[in-house]
Amino acid sequence: MANSYRPVAVVTGASSGIGAATVVALGRLGYRIAAGARRLDRVRRVVGESGLASGLNPIDQARDDEWVEMWEVNVLGLMRMTRACLPLIRKARHGHIVNLGSIAGFETYKGGAGYTASKHAVHAISRTLRLELNGEPIRVTEIEPGMVETEFSLVRFHGDRKAAKDVYKGVKPLVAADIADCIVFAVTRPPHVDIDEIIVRPIAQAAAWLVARKG
Ligand SMILES: NC(=O)c1ccc[n+]([C@@H]2O[C@H](COP(=O)([O-])OP(=O)(O)OC[C@H]3O[C@@H](n4cnc5c(N)ncnc54)[C@H](OP(=O)(O)O)[C@@H]3O)[C@@H](O)[C@H]2O)c1
């Protein structure tokens, strides 16, 4: 960080997985970080382990309907966060919005209608933002990962550890730090360089539904 200038990063989903790894990676770079998720104890632990000061964003909501929740988090959550942060980002010297999409944002697979539709929406929102922010010093990057081993599968299988583990059977998946690396790459480019999208998968994964497994 040149002089005393320390950029601010607002990281959602910071209690685990990619969000937590991003807090750690950006913290190492000297960013000031506001971290948010529902499990505040976990967010505090991530922030504490990184030795960072934090702003916490308590969100307390529970819904049964998986599709509704998926859209709440992936689509409405993203839109609300964008709307809340944009006025602040516009006040900064330059800004950067990094959205977590997925290969499910441009691929489809059987049984994935709810998730793929929500991630297609993330793709559309990111592309729309780029049009709307054209001419302003604000970059928009969409990170589109394939299979990453986080708590994602544990949540998807409602805490069934075996089912969650089986997702990664016979394959070396990406880890959260691999995605944080991509985010760090995007945000540390010179201000005139906009990394539109980064698609990143395990080498064994050719499509959301095509994974070469050993054994
Ligand atoms: N893992 C993969 O294979 C993969 C692949 C492609 C894309 N992605 C995307 O990467 C992003 C991060 O996923 P991850 O793999 O890091 O999963 P994760 O380990 O399950 O982390 C999800 C994070 O989101 C927070 N969260 C979930 N529901 C929330 C809600 N209603 N309100 C506020 N915060 C909420 C969780 O915190 P609390 O539960 O504490 O609130 C947690 O911090 C997601 O958008 C996912 O779709 C993941």
168 is catalytic: no
Ligand 1 atom closest to 72 (CA): 31
Q: How far is the CA of 5 from the centre of ligand 1 (A)?
A: 30
- Owning domain of residue 182: 63-211
**Do 13 and 76 lie in a common domain?**
no
**Do 47 and 103 lie in a common domain?**
no
Q: Note whether 1 and 25 are within 8 A (CB).
A: no
Q: What is residue 13's DSSP assignment?
A: S
Which CATH number goes with the domain that contains 25? 3.40.50.720
**Do 179 and 114 lie in a common domain?**
yes
Instruction: Please give the model's pTM, rounded to 2 decimal places.
Output: 0.90
Q: Note whether 35 and 55 are within 8 A (CB).
A: yes
- Is the CB–ligand 1 distance for residue 147 below 6 Å? yes
**Do 86 and 47 lie in a common domain?**
no
Query: CA angle 77-42-38, nearest 5°?
Result: 30
Question: What are 84's two structure tokens?
Answer: 């809340």
3-state helix/strand/coil string of 44-86: HHHHHHHCCCCCEECCCCCCCCHHHHHHHHHHHHHHHHHHHHH
- Which of 5, 31, 109, 115 is an active site residue? 115
**Do 54 and 75 lie in a common domain?**
no
**Do 183 and 93 lie in a common domain?**
yes
Mean pLDDT, the chain, rounded, equals 91
Nearest CA to ligand 1 atom 10: 100
Domain count, the chain: 2
Confidence of residue 3 (pLDDT cuts 50, 70, 90): low
Residues in the chain: 215
Per-residue pLDDT at 59 exceeds 70: no
Ligand 1 atom closest to 42 (CA): 40
DSSP letter for each residue of 140-196: EEEEEES-EESSHHHHHTTT-HHHHHHTTTTS--EEHHHHHHHHHHHHTS-TT----
* pLDDT tens readout for residues 155-187: 988 899 999 999 999 999 999 999 999 999 999
**Do 145 and 109 lie in a common domain?**
yes
**Do 56 and 121 lie in a common domain?**
no
Nearest CA to ligand 1 atom 30: 73
- Distance between CA 171 and CA 202 in Å, rounded? 8
**Do 33 and 118 lie in a common domain?**
no
Question: What are 147's two structure tokens?
Answer: 């299979």
* pLDDT tens readout for residues 25-58: 999 999 999 999 999 999 999 988 876 654 444 3
- Would you tell me the crossing angle of helices 176-187 and 17-28 to the nearest 10 degrees? 50
